[in-house]
Amino acid sequence: MNFENVLLEKKNAIAYVTVNRPKVLNALNTATMAELGVAFSEIKNDPSIRVAILTGAGEKAFIAGADIGELAKQDAVSGKEFAQRGQAVFDLIENFGKPVIACINGFALGGGCELALACTMRLANDNAKLGQPEVKLGIIPGYGGSQRLPRLVGKGLAMQMVLAGEMITAQEAHRIGLVNEVTSAAELIPRAEAIAAKIIANAPLAVQYAMEAVNKGMEMTLAEGLHLEAALFGVCCATLDKSEGTAAFLEKRPAAFKGK
């Protein structure tokens, strides 16, 4: 597929996905959402790719929100379908088995903040601003913000962000646990690449199953989550990577994982 609104590059087992609509601060319209779905499906099915880095084009915005012109046209039926299509793309990004690092290089508002929430981890430059301002438009978050945000920062802080609709700084986002780290603009992508390199050095299946244990376990009771963890631990024990990893440790050599 030839992308018009998304850039996809691959290098050193990393896929770089860039929302490329800088003139409109990388706003998410229907076409862009569809391209993100295709891009991440391609990454999912490419065994050479271990980690994805997601960012926005330009220096002003990661993603400044959804396309307001499209939102203005929605009614009760089409609005629900509009939200569910976006939720499906973000669910793919969250759960396709490979880590996605969001590099928030400016405004991450509305759908942009929700896209960052769907990523495995979030880095922000020191000028970034994040928020869920949907109530200012007479709507609520529709791409998962009302669900992922309180799971990440807690109910009270999520309520404040969603109901007040105000932006917060990267530093405040870091304080409340919304972003993992804050860097300078110049160090944002290199820092993500450094984290990606550490992930790539580990067993691919172990990384995949660890993500599944955390993501799915968050939706379960503790007892259910522990049962899932034990089951996935058992699956890992049957892999060639486990045999290689334990042998390499005992033999004091680097492991050569195959993802099998």
66: pLDDT strictly greater than 90: no
Give the pLDDT confidence of 238-252 residue by residue, as tens digits. 999 999 999 999 999
- Told to judge if 35 belongs to the known catalytic residues of this protein, a careful annotator would answer no
- Do residues 26 and 105 both lie within one domain? yes
Q: At what angle do helices 240-250 and 222-237 cross, to 10 degrees?
A: 80
- Burial-class residue 247 by CB neighbours within 10 Å (0-12, 13-18, 19+): exposed
Q: What is the per-residue pLDDT for 28?
A: 95
Q: How many Cβ atoms from other residues are within 10 Å of residue 202's Cβ?
A: 15
* Number of separate domains in the chain: 2
Q: Are residues 240 and 126 in the same domain?
A: no
Segment among 12-26, 67-81, 117-131, 189-203 with least mean pLDDT: 67-81
Q: Hey, what are 199's tokens?
A: 């992930």
Query: Are 93 and 124 found together in one domain?
Result: yes
Residues 25 and 68 in one domain: yes
67 band by pLDDT with thresholds 50, 70 and 90: confident
Indicate whether 256 belongs to any domain: no
d(CA 147, CA 158): 9
Which residue of the set 42, 81, 94, 114 is catalytic? 114
Residue-wise pLDDT for 139-175, tens only, equals: 999 999 999 999 999 999 999 999 999 999 999 999 9
The pLDDT confidence band at residue 49, using thresholds 50, 70 and 90, is: very high
Task: In whole angstroms, give the CA distance from residue 70 to residue 67.
Answer: 5
> 148 and 167, same structural domain?
yes
Q: Are residues 113 and 236 in the same domain?
A: no
pLDDT at 120: 98
Catalytic option among 9, 35, 94, 134: 134
Q: Cα separation of 25 and 59, whole Å?
A: 9
Task: Output the pLDDT for position 37.
Answer: 97
- In terms of domains, do 169 and 230 share one? no
Q: What is the CATH number of the domain that holds 222?
A: 1.10.12.10
- Residues 186, 214, single domain; the answer is no
Confidence at residue 4, expressed as pLDDT on a 0 to 100 scale: 94
167 and 245 in a single domain? The answer is no
State the residue range of the domain holding 27.
6-200
Would you state the structure tokens that stand for residue 118, as one six-digit string? 């769907």
Residue 92 has pLDDT above 90, yes or no: yes
Mean pLDDT value across the chain: 96
**Are 49 and 105 in a shared domain?**
yes
Q: Within this chain, do residues 98 and 208 fall inside the same structural domain, yes or no? A: no
Using the predicted structure, report yes or no on whether residue 1 has a pLDDT greater than 80. Answer: no
**Does residue 193 share a domain with residue 121?**
yes
Establish whether 229 is a catalytic residue: no
